[in-house]
Structure formats: structure tokens, C-alpha cells
Structure 1
Amino acid sequence: MSRKTDQPSTAELRCDSCGLLPEPGRTRLTLANVAVMLPIELVVHALVVNTGLPYLLKVAVLAVTATALVIWVAEPSAMRLLRSWLHAPALRQHNRLTAAPALWRARVVVADRPGALEQLTHQLTRLKVNILTVHVHPVDGGSLDELVLSAPGELTEQDLLDTLTAAGGSTVGIWPTTPLALADGQTRALNFATRIAQNPGALPDAIAELLGADVVPPHQQAAAPAGPAVLKVPTAWQGPLLFRREGQPFTPAESARAHRLAELAEILEQGRRVSASPQQSA
């Protein structure tokens, strides 16, 4: 006997771990069970009542037969035949969540020629993807465009990767993001500059957070491979700082922001040392 497959709508509700559907609402489940059980109860009563069995035996037969039919026939039938109706509220919620826009951060290298960005935009428009912000960084072989995209919820990371590649992009990266990504790089850099002004010693963590990178510990710096995904920021008072970001080469603009933060921290630290020196001499 071939196993019946789920309807596509309810199949989307199944748990990825246990494969079960969500528990339907109590009211809907009760109504579904009554709708299936009532005909069975009436038929069983009609058959048993007309027999010549003693009263107590009739009651026992009715109870056992009705219970068995409910367990083996009625409830499974209700769950199978009325599945879409039982899970209608969960399906509506699922559809609302699926249709809700999702935010993605994209990095793509496009050719440095007229119409390259327009072609990329046209391909995204076909998927009803809205470009919220664009930051362009000149790189070898073209320009690196950093995009924040608002996409329909049903689109996957692979859908966006395929679209950007088909539009002529290369070195494409896609990551889920939050509304915080809508803050432009200059604003974020100023926020971190304020943080450095309050505590210059927080420079490594501030740069790492600004660039979305990892700080390479001093004892691992010698073994860190050189490349566009590794950024070195020299400092006079903390030694060289090394940052690593797998799969996302650092752009010249990001490198400049990191170096300016390091210069700011160094100026502030020197000022504090000069201010402390007369106090120590006294």
C-alpha cells in the first residue's frame, strides 16, 4: 500500500526535527471529532439497541465498541480528512510570516562599466527585491557593492545568490541582517569614534565590531595567512592589531576607517599619558 503524502500547505507546517504537525486548536479539534464520531455513535447505538442482549451487556458493548471506533477510526479520520481546516489558523500565520519581507546584506563585485549596476537592479526587481542602501567601494576589476536588501520572505539565500550571479556579479556573498545594517558606514564609524574617545583601550573590540571581523590574538598573528581577508592595523602603544573576516575581503574604505580609529585612540592615549605625567612628578 502506498503511503499518502501530505498536502503541500500542511506539509510546510511539519517540524523539521520530529516531523509532527502543530497541535490544532481545542475548539476546532472538538468540532472535528464530533462531526466524525456522531455518525458512528448513531450507527452503533441503532445496531446494539435492537438486539436482545441484557441491558448491562448492551451498555458494555456500546462503550467498548464506541471507544474502539473513536480511537481507531474517528480521530484519525478527522485528522486526515479535516487537516486543512484544523490547521487553518497556523497556515494563515505561516503564510503571513512567509510573505513578510526579510533583510539581507549582500556584497557583490560588478564590472566597472556603464549599466552594470542597472542590470543588477533590474534582476532584483524581477524578484520584488527592494534595495535599501548601496555603498560602492572601488576594487581591482570593478567595484564592490555593499547592498542591504528587503526581499519577500519566501526567497532563500540561494535565490539571491543565483540572481546576483545571473546579473553579472562575482564574488557574491549573502548574509541575513537586521535593521541595524541600515545605518551607513560613516554614522557607525562616528559612533565607534565616540566609544574610543571614552575608552581608547577598547580599540581592538571597536574595530572588530565595526568591520564584523574577528581579532587575531597576538600569539596567532605569525601564523595568520596574508590576504584581502586579513587586515593589519599598526599602533604604537598596543602593537600591531590583526583582524580576520572569512569570505569577506576588507575594502579600502573599511581599512581607512580602522586606521583612523587607531590614530584617534593613539592621540587620546598620548594625551592622557601627558596629563598624568605632571601629576606623577608632583
Structure 2
Amino acid sequence: MRPTAARPPVHALACDVCGRLPHPPRTRLALAKLAAVFPVELALHALVIRLHPPYLVAVLLLTITTTILVIWVVEPSAMRFLGSWLHGPELRDRDRADQAPALWRIRVHVDDRPGQLEALAAHLADREANILTVHVHHLESGVLDELVVATPIDVTPHALTAAVTKAGGTKVRVWPASALTLIDGQTKALAAAARVVADPDELPLAIAELLGAKYLSSGPTEHARADGAMLELPNDPESPLTFLRADEPFTPAEIARAHRLNDLARIVTHPT
């Protein structure tokens, strides 16, 4: 049985920059203010009626006392006390986001034979892994499959590796992925191409955005090489374009797109 995640506290919704909470729904805010102010108003009016002061004194007493209590005491206290209820919808959305399925990118070498992908899907299904995207790269010996899968939050990379290995896969690698992984690669590449055609100087940044990598303007270093996967594109013989991605290696399709963008920039810059 999966443990139930505790609801995040209200302050988890605060803005990272200004520290303010999101504005609660108008109806809930009105009801919270009414619930906070009504008992104070009722008690003050009952006290004034019981004491029976002169009319002007009663008006001033009610106005000043109510204003001070409501603005500086009652309303802030009520907002803190009713915070979980006021921001209930936002907290429920936060719960759903925290409990959303985990995304994983899987790279595996398999034999190029009928039924291999079906076997792979069947063993992943045993782990409740739902295949979202598949890219097949044909190699000299076999096939390299790139998959993005969604799993329950408690499924581990080790469990996915075991399932893929059981299906006949070798050289299995598993990395955490994000929703950005699901964006269509061809669409991203076309958008980057249009950006490079408009301004060839945008090439390094366009490739970095396309690959989700960091552009190393000063070139590769030994420290950078140890931090993750590195890609170098020929630009200038003395200063090639260098990109670093720490979380996962570059796929053959991504490398090919980067090279084609580089070629496109050269054509635009030197049309002859």
C-alpha cells in the first residue's frame, strides 16, 4: 500500500521572490472576513447597547474600536487560522502535482527482430510503466531504443532496469525526465532553425535551447568533461561550439539536429 503524502503547509505556496501567498478565491475570502468580523461587531454592539453611552460616544467607540480590532487583530489572525481553507484549491492542485506519475528516459540496446518492442512494453507494463514516446535508432548491430515512460512515484530506476533487462535489453540506462522531454523534437528543431535563419549569431543559444544543454563559450575544460555529456560542433578550427548536459547523454537524433543547425548557420552566413 502506497503511503499517503501529507498535504504541504500553506507557506509552501508562497512566492519565492516576494514571499506572498497567492490571492485566495474571492468567495472564500469574503466568507473568511465575514466570519472574522461578525463576532467582533456583535460583541461591540451588545456592549454599547448595554452601557448606553451618548450617541456621539457610541459612534466613535464603535468606529475606532472596530477598525483597530478588524484591521490589526482579527482579520490577520483569521487569515492565518483559516489559511488552509482559504487556499484549499491551490493546496489540492499542489497535492495532485506532487502525486503525479514520475517520468523516466530509458536507453536500451535490443536485437533487431520482430516482437522485441512488444516484449519490452509487456515487461514495462508489469511495473505499471506507461510508454509515452519511443525513438528507434538503427545501429550496425541491433537497435538502440529511446523511451520516455510514466510510472507510479514509488517505482525505482533499478526496477525499470530489471524489467528492461528481463525483456532482452542490454546496456540499459535510466535517467529522470521532465515534462519538457515530451515536447515534439521536430517542432523544436524547426523553431530553432527559423531562429538561426533570422539571426545566425543565435546559433549557440538556439542549439543549447534545443538540446536542453549549457553552452560553454570558453570551450571545454577537464572539470566540465567530468560533469556530464559533452558535444562539440565544428565552427571555427580553433574554437568549436561546445555544449554540456549534466543529467543525460545526447541521443543520436539530437546530435544530428545540432549538426544540421550548424550547417544551416553556415549556409545563411556564406550563401555562396
Query: TM-score, structure 2 length as denominator?
Result: 0.56
Cross-structure match for 2:165: none
1:91 corresponds to 2:88: yes
Mapping for residues 115-264 of structure 1, pairs under 5 Å: 115-121=119-125, 123=127, 132-136=132-136, 143=144, 145-147=146-148, 159=153, 162-163=154-155, 165=157, 167-169=159-161, 170-177=173-180, 181-185=182-186, 187-193=187-193, 203-217=203-217, 219-221=218-220, 223=222, 225=225, 229-235=229-235, 240-263=240-263
How far the C-alpha of 1:222 sits from its partner, in A, is: 5.8
* Separation in structure 1 between the aligned mates of residue 230 and residue 145 of structure 2, nearest angstrom: 17
**Structure 1 segments unaligned to the other structure (5+ residues):** 1-6, 274-282
After TM superposition, the structure 1 = structure 2 runs for residues 72-83 of structure 1, keeping only pairs within 5 Å, are none
| Aligned mates of 1:63, 1:199 — CA distance in 2 | 68
* Number of residue equivalences: 242
The separation in 1 between residues aligned to 2:155 and 2:195, in whole angstroms, is 39
Deviates more, 1:100-109 or 1:228-237: 100-109
1:207-226 deviation line (CA, Å, top 9, x unaligned): 33332223333x53365537
| Per-residue deviation, 1:229 | 0.5
Cα deviation 1:17-76 (Å, max 9, x = unaligned): 798766665632442134312542365346535xxxx859x9599769965995698657
Indicate yes or no: 2:107 matched with 1:109: yes
Residue equivalent to 1:280: none
Q: 1:40 aligns with which of 16, 27, 43?
A: 43
Structure 2, unpaired ranges of 5+: 1-5, 162-172
Percent identity, aligned pairs only, is 32
Shift of 1:230: 0.9
User: 2-side partners of 1:193 and 1:30: how far apart?
Assistant: 54
Distance 1:75 1:270, change over 3 A: closer
The one-letter amino acid of 1:91's match is G
Residue of structure 1 in register with 2:169 after alignment: none
CA offsets 1:141-160 (integer angstroms, 9 cap, x no match) = x95635386x9xxx9xxx4x
SS at match of 1:255: helix
Structure-2 separation of matches of 1:191 and 1:65? 62
Deviation track 1:55-109 (CA, whole Å, cap 9, x = no partner) reads: 59x9599769965995698657855776666x2xx42355357547989874233
Pairwise CA RMSD: 5.4
Shift of 1:172: 1.4
Q: Using a 3 Å threshold, how does the CA distance of structure 1 residues 227 and 256 change in structure 2: closer, same or farther? A: farther
Q: Secondary structure at the match of 2:177?
A: strand
Q: Is the 8 A contact 1:120 1:164 kept in 2?
A: no
Task: Provide the residue aligned with 1:276 in structure 2.
Answer: none
